[in-house]
Structure 1
């Protein structure tokens, strides 16, 4: 068992921290809205801290899952950030989906202070976090990963080191690029099937057993067919992630025409008022 802190108790961070507590780790939590941290401690034990620095003090591993690059900098190298309180030999594990640049920046800052940094974005969504079956893509040093991985296993079914600092974030970009194309393809197929007068349920039952099968098809076709999107990974979050992908592609010269197009389509969904709809809402712009 480890002494750990968890910074950020959002829809992903809260259940991840809960799994750590359930596995018997000594958990201190910090959240920008203190009421969320108080609620966590009441329900799951542990302690809460008023700042990231106070949460990080005396911990072996500090975990983090916040919104974006700026939020991440605030809780790490900000005036009351965790980096100012972490001891040599400890490890900071960042589960935020952020840029590879900020991962490398914070890795360098951690090294200067004598502790490790692992960028470790996750895939699996809120359901994966709730059920403790997330996929974790990591970048960093092997020794730091080896310290963190047994603890990460509290909420992960797969966790792998994929390269040096920033590799985890780059892998997450690949993940989001794949999802964008698959969801758009599924949306178009369902829309086409309805216009063609087919029994969509029956067709999906057949084609989901073949080469067209995907996680999105298995888990989203019913709600897409019903026009229900008030759950899951929000369009605003996906646009943030795709923006990171497109920025990185501009730097490394990768060509992402489909990703750029789907990002525009998500912009159309936002214009329809679907900012907080699930990403499967791409079908809504076809049927409006």
Structure 2
């Protein structure tokens, strides 16, 4: 059974089994942040901006990103007294006591941890280092990462994927899912809440549990998006119009995330640069389907969502090859292009569908 962990300032003290440190000295440890994608940037920014206000003596956060301009942008935003740019991964792993990682996919995560290991083999740590893996990765990869680090002295790994959209992350309202060493979780929880997130869900010592939980949560989001995309396509073909589905969501299913996706689909706002890229959605769907096979737990809505995501991406790739993409990076809300294509409509061009829909309506009326 999981525990929901929130500091006394956020919720009742009985809901937070981790005690506050008796002295602020224990929290003057250097924090490093690796990976400044949409969610990672918001997390690192909020930790740098809010951390010193919540934890006395917290040093400026060290940040590293493959694209240095993002790290420079973050430092410019929060100020040099709150963050600094590390020149290399080696600098991050050698100088920092808590290293938070947020990266796009499993292969990149694996590569980064091998680089961590190589750097620490050259200069073994003399005091405890905590690695906080917040990326959405396949659960068994946690075991690989733990094995990479286990040969090094004084190292601990916890998994801490996060739940929440880019807007939620920007507002420090993420839910943090944690598994791993208890003492490490306690320290990281006190570091990140409320500076980065609003609560922690503790799933015990098994590193795979937090990652499995995150993918289960994403399955609910993807399943909801699939049903929403199908309803919008059905509404278009029946002559009702997708805007009526948006109204229906607002009236009867007013979840903020569902409304946001309905607005994106209805308005064809598929720019993934400020959202969640479709590549990430396909990666997550692939991981979820792999887990459903492992546990003999069919999730047919996810199978359909995976197919429609692939269809949407294929159409977008064709557009890019033809030199006429509407956006450079496709958001995963473009899943609706897959349901539209399956229904005989154009994936992204409603004007092209206008005459087709008139013919369909005239045909249905004459029958």
TM-score when normalising by structure 1: 0.88
- Number of equivalences: 287
CA contact (8 A) 2:312 2:336 kept: no
Residues 199, 39 of structure 1: alpha-carbon distance in 2 compared, 3 angstrom cutoff: closer
SS in 2 for 1:143: helix
Q: Which residue of 2 aligns with 1:125?
A: 165
In structure 2, the gaps of 5 or more residues are 1-26, 53-57, 318-327, 347-367
SS in 1 for 2:211: helix
Moved more, 230-239 or 197-206: 197-206
Whole-Å separation in 2 of the counterparts to 1:161 and 1:50: 34
Whole-Å separation in 2 of the counterparts to 1:257 and 1:82: 44
Q: Deviations over 1:68-126 (max 9, x none)?
A: 22211222222775655655423110111111111122224434433221111122132
Q: How does 1:1-288 map to 2 (within 5 A)?
A: 2=28, 3-23=30-50, 24=52, 25=58, 26-44=60-78, 45=80, 46-78=83-115, 84=121, 86-113=125-152, 114-153=154-193, 154-163=195-204, 164-198=206-240, 201=243, 204-205=246-247, 208-210=250-252, 212-231=253-272, 232-273=275-316, 276-285=329-338, 286=340, 287-288=345-346
Cα shift at 1:218: 1.9
Q: Deviations over 1:252-281 (max 9, x none)?
A: 333232212211110100011078322221
CA contact (8 A) 2:117 2:148 kept: no
Cα shift at 1:28: 0.8
Residues 82, 158 of structure 1: alpha-carbon distance in 2 compared, 3 angstrom cutoff: farther
Cα shift at 1:181: 0.9
Cα shift at 1:201: 4.8
Q: Which residue of 1 aligns with 2:14?
A: none
Cα shift at 1:134: 1.5
Whole-Å separation in 1 of the counterparts to 2:119 and 2:251: 48
Cα shift at 1:193: 2.8
CA RMSD in angstroms, aligned pairs only: 2.5
Whole-Å separation in 1 of the counterparts to 2:119 and 2:42: 21
SS in 2 for 1:245: helix
Moved more, 120-129 or 250-259: 250-259
Moved more, 190-199 or 88-97: 190-199
Structure showing greater Rg: 2
CA contact (8 A) 1:58 1:87 kept: no
Whole-Å separation in 2 of the counterparts to 1:200 and 1:103: 42
Q: Deviations over 1:226-269 (max 9, x none)?
A: 22211411111100111122223333333232212211110100
In structure 1, the gaps of 5 or more residues are none
CA contact (8 A) 1:140 1:161 kept: no
Q: Which residue of 1 aligns with 2:10?
A: none
